[in-house]
Structure 1
Amino acid sequence: MKGPLFYSKILLFGEYGIIKDSKGLSIPYNFFKGALKTQENDSAVAQKSNESLRRFATYLAEIDSSIVTFDIQSLQTDLDEGMYFDSSIPQGYGVGSSGALVAAIYDKYAYKKITVLENLTREKLLQLKTIFSQMESFFHGKSSGLDPLNSYLSIPILINSHDNIEATGIPTQSFDGKGAVFLLDSGIVGETAPMVNIFMENLKDKGFRKMVKDEFVKYTDACVENFLGGDIKSLFTNTKQLSKIVLNNFKPMIPEQFHGLWQQGIDSNDYYLKLCGSGGGGYILGFTENIDKARESLKDHKLEVVYQF
């Protein structure tokens, strides 16, 4: 792929919680990537991408100009020449396929863009997040803007609260370590909007709201702090709690055939599963203190290690 590349991301912690002001931690995942291309390509995928980009261009022209403006004319010209988004990022898998596309369009066509080379103050990060939230809403109906932000900057982002985000460093990987974060392929494409709608509907219930505030947010925050602080023992204790809470309260977001596998991890302590993005399919995120044990327990499934302790 030529031209600027934009990578996928993984929200390690914070899915759904960040809607209710939990902490969150998002990291770039360089295994998947995408780039805008303008060259002859008659494939159905390229044509479909071009058509989708045309609809997106119409949407971008209508965004409030006090937030962001684009060189729509150049964008239209490039689209007329067949431009498409060439991407290896799977759609509906919770790893930010639309985020990478949004980042690529902003990078190429936004006027007065904030660049990665600037001193990225909290104000600038929030401004970018607002812009990306507006842009990505075209794909999801409602977007936090975090996926494109991560893809655009390609650095870990710590979400402290809704309006408090910062670039952060994460502990160095230990490639001979047994502990790992991995992706488990559910083999099912998930859709973000219906899952978010279920969550928002559930929030109308007082008991569910209390569980989110007192348990889900509490353990999410603890996991973020443990991970960044390198406190691996506490990280696994809290991830186990988080895995239980998700299984008990977010069942619609977990494909049915994985309910047993989820429970098996909690019972055996071989691994703990959690949602990757909004759930409903795509990838499931796993944490294990012993990757060999996890591979053995999940031998019928495809595991992709993304981080080692």
Structure 2
Amino acid sequence: MSNPLFYAKILLFGEYGIIEDSQGLTLPYSYYKGTLKFSELKNDFEKKSNLSLRKYSDYLINLDLPNSFKLKVADFQKDIENGLFFDSNIPQGYGVGSSGALVAAIFEKYSIKKYTPENITKDELKDLKKVFGQLESYFHGKSSGIDPLICYMNLPILIENKENVDRVSIPESEAGKGAIFLIDSGMTGETGPMVQIFFEKMKTEGFRKTMKEEFIRYNNACIDAFLKKDMNPLFRNLKNLSIWAYEHFKPMIPESIYNAWKKGLDTNAYYLKLCGSGGGGYILGFTKDYSKAEKMLKGFQKEVIYRF
């Protein structure tokens, strides 16, 4: 049996904004991956994974999916009885799509109709996103379906608005001084509570106004500049985005990162932003001079994901 690998994802731009119809840009991240496998379930990891698949299959039985996206749940349950588990090194609670990769792997193996990045139409992509939202909402309470879609398609995806998504090509990474990188906050974050905080904030008119007039404007401008590889407007808008998050997303910024976030803004050596819902996990960093930023962020675990 060939085991297709499903990679993690990184939401480069659009955290929280995509809930409010901003654009988003997300890409696969092959450093972390997962695949469905069979075993005799001898260790705790495999047993735990098998048990959680069993519980998930109970959820899938009662899920009413459109015909062209239906799953062979009986086959899935039979495989679970035979020792199926999800072998993954994707950290949970880190904002890199651990449940998205699992949902993508299950859909790929058990969907009645097969889709590939080459043969899928834009309308099917839109419908698939909705289906993935239903499949992933088991893990988060409410899901946009974006994470599993990225993991499934294994391509960069531009989120145009709440309804529409499209494949996009991003500029090639090249060996330059600049970098986009991940910082490990050293703690896990839970999506549910963070999203709850966001919805509470959205109840106040002032926050709604600044979200629409400032955050979404900076966010969409960053995506536009990044796709055009136009670095000056990118960093100008990144700084605005980072200041905005520092002022308005304080509960979502892990305490361990708070001073480093401010230091980047004060020195302009790098800018930080949330990677996913925040509260822990990874934070994204952008810099025109990675060696300088790296020295200033001494003590943090970092991983470069893109060079320019």
Instruction: Determine if the TM-score, normalized by the shorter chain, exceeds 0.5.
Output: yes
**Where does residue 63 of structure 2 map in the other structure?**
63
Shift of 1:116: 2.7
1:24 maps to: 24
Is 1:53 the equivalent of 2:61?
Answer: no
User: Hey, what does 2:14 align to over in structure 1?
Assistant: 14
Q: Percent identity between the aligned chains? A: 54
Please state how far the C-alpha of 1:61 moved relative to its aligned partner: 1.3
Deviation at 1:165, TM superposition (A): 1.1
CA distance, structure 2, for counterparts of residue 267 and residue 108 of structure 1: 49
Return the alpha-carbon distance in structure 2 between the equivalents of residues 227 and 20 of structure 1. Answer: 21
1:73 aligned onto 2:74: yes
Task: Mark the runs of 5 or more structure 1 residues left unpaired by the alignment.
Answer: none
Alpha-carbon separation, structure 1, partners of 2:65 and 2:189? 33
**Considering only aligned residues, what root-mean-square deviation do their CA atoms show, in Å?**
1.2
TM superposition shift of 1:208 = 0.6
Query: In the alignment, what sits opposite 2:295?
Result: 296
Any idea what the Cα deviations from partners look like across 1:247-277, whole Å, max 9, x if unmatched?
Answer: 1000110112321110000011111000000
Secondary structure of 1:285's match?
Answer: strand
Q: Deviations over 1:218-254 (max 9, x none)?
A: 0000000000011011111111110000010001101
Whether the 8 Å contact between 1:270 and 1:288 is mirrored in structure 2 is yes
Give the Cα separation in 2 of the matches to 1:61 and 1:214: 43
Give the secondary structure class of the aligned counterpart of 2:11: strand
3-state DSSP class of the match of 1:207? helix
Aligned to 2:232: 233
Q: SS of the residue aligned with 2:241? A: helix
Map 1:213-224 → 2, pairs under 5 A = 213-224=212-223
Give the partner amino acid of 1:171: P
Gaps of 5+ in 2: none
**After superposition, where does 1:243-282 map in structure 2 within 5 Å?**
243-282=242-281
In the alignment, residue 20 of structure 2 is paired with which amino acid? K
Contact 1:63–1:69 (CA under 8 A) maintained in structure 2: no
Letter paired with 2:139: F
- Asked whether the 8 Å contact 2:184–2:301 carries over to 1, the reply is yes
Residues 1:303 and 1:218: Cα distance change in structure 2 (over 3 Å): same
CA distance in structure 2 between the aligned counterparts of 1:74 and 1:2, rounded to whole angstroms: 17
User: Could you say what secondary structure the match of 2:160 adopts?
Assistant: strand
Query: Helix, strand or coil: the match of 1:161?
Result: coil
How far residue 66 of structure 1 moved from its aligned partner, in angstroms, is: 2.5
Q: Is the 8 A contact 1:106 1:113 kept in 2?
A: no
Cα pair 1:187 1:282 within 8 Å, conserved: yes
Do 1:19 and 1:162's aligned partners in 2 also have CA atoms closer than 8 Å?
A: yes
**What one-letter code is carried by the residue in structure 2 that aligns with 1:172?**
E
- Offset, 1:85: 0.3
The one-letter amino acid paired with 2:114 is: K
2:159 aligned counterpart, secondary structure: strand
Q: TM-score, normalised by structure 1?
A: 0.97
**Number of positions where the alignment pairs a residue of Structure 1 with one of Structure 2:** 307
1:152 aligns with 2:152: yes
User: How far, CA to CA, are the matches of 1:65 and 1:289 in structure 2?
Assistant: 46
Tell me the secondary structure at the aligned position of residue 29 of structure 1: strand
Superposed displacement of residue 64, structure 1? 1.3
The code of the aligned residue for 2:58 comes to T
- Answer yes or no: is the 8 Å Cα contact 2:65–2:131 preserved in 1: no
CA contact (8 A) 1:61 1:70 kept: no
Structure 2 SS opposite 1:90: coil
2:31 matches 1:36: no
Shift of 1:102: 0.3
What is the TM-score of this pair, normalised by structure 2? 0.97
The Cα shift of 1:41 comes to 3.0
| Paired amino acid for 1:277 | G
Give, in angstroms, the shift of residue 144 of structure 1.
0.6
Deviation, 1:2, is 5.5
Q: Give the distance between the partners of 1:22 and 1:116, measured in 2 at CA.
A: 24
What is the match of residue 121 of structure 1?
121
Q: Which residue of 2 aligns with 1:138?
A: 138
1:65 deviation in Å?
3.3
Counterpart residue number, 1:162: 162
**Greater shift after overlay, 40-49 or 281-290?**
40-49
Deviations 1:22-64 (A, max 9, x none): 1110000011000000122311111111111111111111111
Matched residue SS, 2:218? helix
User: What is the match of residue 191 of structure 2?
Assistant: 192
2:81 partner letter: D
Separation in 2 of the partners of 1:12 and 1:75? 33
CA distance in 2, matches of 1:30, 1:260: 30
* Counterpart residue number, 1:85: 86
DSSP 3-state at the match of 2:286: strand
Contact 2:93 2:281 in 1 (8 A): yes
